[in-house]
Structure 1
Amino acid sequence: MRHEAPQFQPKDPDYADRVRASFGMQQAMRLIGAELAELEPGFAEIHLPHRPEITQQHGYIHGGVVGMIADSAAGYAANTLTPQDTSVLTVEYKLNLLAPADGQRLVARGEVIKPGRTLLITRAEVYAVRDEHWTLCAVMQQTIIAMHGKKDGAA
């Protein structure tokens, strides 16, 4: 399912601990029940179980929630490649919803397309998984800004 991503070298040898700690600070991810399931240089995967509290009127997981996990998966993929004293913010993204998010869980896979010192270009795919049948329900392209000298949690 995952694109064959280029092999990136992280600038921070402790990137995994730093990125997981950052994800732990995200109250929004905790609110919807998302989990950072996989992390590699230039790649992050977020899992989200279906819960009635995050659905829309037809019972599908809300498109805004689909956008949240796509944004976070791709943003954390970018964050794996930044230096230790650097945090990231989304500058923009475009999300295409391809099918209803009708699954027992969603899986968002984010990856870096092009790393840069200041701007990183990423993409994400979100799958609705039902009885181990994976349906691509959203694709996203994103621009991330690296904020050098600003660690997560600093206002």
Structure 2
Amino acid sequence: MDLDFARKGLASQPFSALLGARLVAFGDGVAVLELDIRDELKQQNGYLHGGVLAYAADNTLTFAAGSVLGPSVLTAGFSIDYVRPGTGALLRAEANVVQASRSRATCRCEVYTVDDDGLQLCAFAQGTVIVTR
């Protein structure tokens, strides 16, 4: 699979399209997903909603795993820790495969927001992705 193929997969996800998510890197056990932070994605205190951070981690973990396992994969489970509120103009999730077999991969992901001060770590996650063949 290449970046264009992976982008088509992302575009086929209605929720990802609703959020305006973009896959900016994909391959060799790595994936990077970005989306613009809009008011509609914030919670009552003006921070990016935790569900959006979790979406970004989940989907990026799965794309990273898919780059080594193939396109027929699903998240089996993941955990996320929030370390600071999400503010800024851009959300960026960077995931990589830590270990993979033929049927599953363990991945980690860092979720950042980008503002005038650069990248700010907001959350980190780890998860397991399985082949669904």
Alignment TM class, shorter chain as reference: over 0.9
Structure number with greater Rg is 1
> TM-score if structure 1 supplies the norm length?
0.81
Q: Which runs of 5+ in 2 are unaligned?
A: none
1:38 counterpart residue number: 25
Number of equivalent positions: 133
Task: Provide, for residues 90-130 of structure 1, a one-character-per-residue CA deviation record: whole Å limited to 9, x for no partner.
Answer: 11000000000111111000111111111110010001111
2:55 counterpart residue number: 68
Q: Which runs of 5+ in 1 are unaligned?
A: 1-13, 149-155
The answer as to 2:57 corresponding to 1:57 is: no
Report the structure, 1 or 2, having the larger strand content: 2
The answer as to 2:109 corresponding to 1:124 is: yes
Task: Provide, for residues 20-75 of structure 1, a one-character-per-residue CA deviation record: whole Å limited to 9, x for no partner.
Answer: 22111111111111111111210010111110111000111100000001111110
Identity %: 35
Q: Is the 8 A contact 1:15 1:81 kept in 2?
A: no
Report the structure, 1 or 2, having the larger helix content: 2
| Aligned counterparts of 2:4 and 2:21: Cα–Cα separation in 1 | 18
| Aligned counterparts of 2:113 and 2:6: Cα–Cα separation in 1 | 25
> TM-score if structure 2 supplies the norm length?
0.94
RMSD: 1.3
